[in-house]
Chains A and B, each alone.
Chain A
């Protein structure tokens, strides 16, 4: 597929998806579940830009995601503080969420200066806990008690508010996948791959590794923040325990690993597969058990199929060509 053709196709798919859903699917549950799967498409694609493409493992997805959510919470409360009735529109909140988490991503990028692989991963986990502790102690956004967000009754674009959130998240999914694919085929993507394969050799070959790593962490963080921004309106009750939930961290690692880290399609496959399984499992079996399944699948795939489903398909194809 030529580069120029992808974006229009992706956007078209997104639009068709939304339109068809809204015309034919009236079951509210579909929108609630679908939102989560789309959210995971964004999160795992974002994770994979730093993880699969650049080779830096991030365990702190929860932090970037939650900071996006909490920046929306702040913006939600801001009008009351300023004694106006003008509400901040959600798309603007998404942008702000992206900027906030993008800046944190930039800071995280500087961490990578000093820390090789493993230490970087642990540091991201540390960052996540520190961010969570800060939020827990911040009363303006409710601290550990959490905050209640009331969904507006009127949704732009007609239909219910949940359909609106669903549409926005579809847009974000298209955006993130489009960005990932553009990177993959570009000079930037090649630079990321060089860093992943051998950072020292990349630097010696003229690749400005710090600059590229900063781009990677900022972009990854920003996308995660954007994915988190609509969360308060989705859950209507926002609290640190659930928004920083380690489930986000595990899923955003498991989905690209299981789907395949070398291509934009891997995280998408992983997100749809695992996301759907989990949504079904939460309804039928306990939610704790479904996290167990994710963890077990992660371990399994990492051991026997380290290149994920995409990798399995590729080697199957290669064997077919050879045989």
Chain B
């Protein structure tokens, strides 16, 4: 019995740590989908891009992954703005059917994944760092450092973003544009420019989230698909625009996945997040915190 509860406790702790990481992965979509109403299903492709970037610098320069992630922030930001420009030019301006926009991001996801396969192959890649391997032991609880650090940095990143959105001028403009583009125009700010910046931020988070990913687990190009369900499940369950809601949802998903994996085997994990998503969409589309 003690072994069981120890197992359960560790599963829960691991789930919470995982949830912290999931928050970093989903925060970008909370901005692009929740606030800008752009269903960017190619987000996982950018996260993987970030992961592989960390892999390369780690392999050839011995650089720390998280450092790489931070250094890549501006690059991914510019990339995100470019993608938004393309999206805006092609779709939002024309007011086309939703299918075209979805097909665009779907194509992007696919092109991203296949490009990574062509460059890196399908073998698992991982990074080496001093904190991958050791764990902190608190009694029967084990805290692997490779989970603790990403979780901690994720929380910092989400907190910083929340601060930025609620305090800075551009941040509040982003919140405004998510609710009423007209009001924004009256503020003499261009909604398109604001949306561009917001989308840029959402992709920038992928640089960092990607570096967390490769610290937590070895990566190969197709694991991005598993993350689509997780990301959107967390975003919807979290109430779309709410950062705190997203955080809670991420933790919840992390814990449920962790317990399922521990007691029923890891092959059920993808079904958990997608099942989560389906249930959320069916039962409470407004999310945990309402909208």
Contact = CB atoms under 8 A, between A and B. Distances in A.
Interface of A: 51, 55, 57, 59, 111, 114-115, 117-119, 121-123, 125-127, 129-130, 132-134, 136-137, 144, 196, 246, 250, 253-254, 257, 261, 286, 288-289, 291-292, 294-296, 298-299, 302-303, 306
Nearest to B103: A302
B237 to A, nearest CB: 13
B278 A126 contact: yes
B185 interface: no
B275 A303 contact: no
- Secondary structure at the B interface, as helix, strand, loop or mixed, is helix
Interface residues of B, number: 39
B171 interface: no
Interface in B93-138: 96-100, 102-104, 106-108, 110-111, 114-115, 117-118
Interface stretch (B47-55, B74-82, B190-198, B263-271): B263-271
21 contacts: A55-B97, A57-B103, A111-B281, A114-B285, A117-B98, A119-B285, A122-B228, A125-B41, A126-B275, A133-B271, A133-B274, A137-B268, A246-B225, A250-B107, A286-B118, A288-B117, A289-B118, A292-B111, A298-B107, A303-B86, A306-B97
Nearest to A294: B110
Interface of B: 39, 41, 86, 90, 96-100, 102-104, 106-108, 110-111, 114-115, 117-118, 225-226, 228-229, 232-233, 236, 267-268, 270-271, 274-275, 277-278, 281-282, 285
A13 to B, nearest CB: 30
A314 to B, nearest CB: 17
Nearest to B96: A306
Nearest to B112: A295
A292 B118 contact: yes
A118 B98 contact: yes
A122 B271 contact: no
B107 A296 contact: yes
A137 B228 CA distance: 21
B285 A302 contact: no
Nearest to A110: B282
B22 to A, nearest CB: 16
B99 A51 contact: yes
Contacts of A289: 114, 118
Contact of A144 (B110, B114, B225, B267): B267
A306 B86 CA distance: 14
A129 B274 contact: yes
Contacts of A250: 106-107, 110
Contacts of A57: 98-99, 102-103
Contacts of B267: 133, 136-137, 144
A129 B99 contact: no
Contacts of B114: 288-289, 291-292, 295
Contacts of B229: 122, 125-126, 129
Nearest to A257: B103
Given A119-B281, A126-B278, A303-B86, 4 more contacts: A115-B285, A118-B39, A129-B229, A299-B104
Contacts of A136: 267
B267 to A, nearest CB: 6
A289 B226 CA distance: 22
Given A118-B39, A136-B267, A288-B114, A126 B107 contact: no
B203 to A, nearest CB: 16
A154 B52 CA distance: 51
A112 to B, nearest CB: 11
B98 A123 contact: no
A122 B275 CA distance: 12
A59 B105 CA distance: 12
Contact of A303 (B90, B225, B228): B90
Given A122-B41, A302-B90, A111 B282 contact: yes
Given A118-B98, A122-B228, A291-B114, A303 B274 contact: no
A287 to B, nearest CB: 10
Contact of B278 (A123, A257, A306): A123
Contacts of A117: 98-99, 102
Contacts of B86: 303
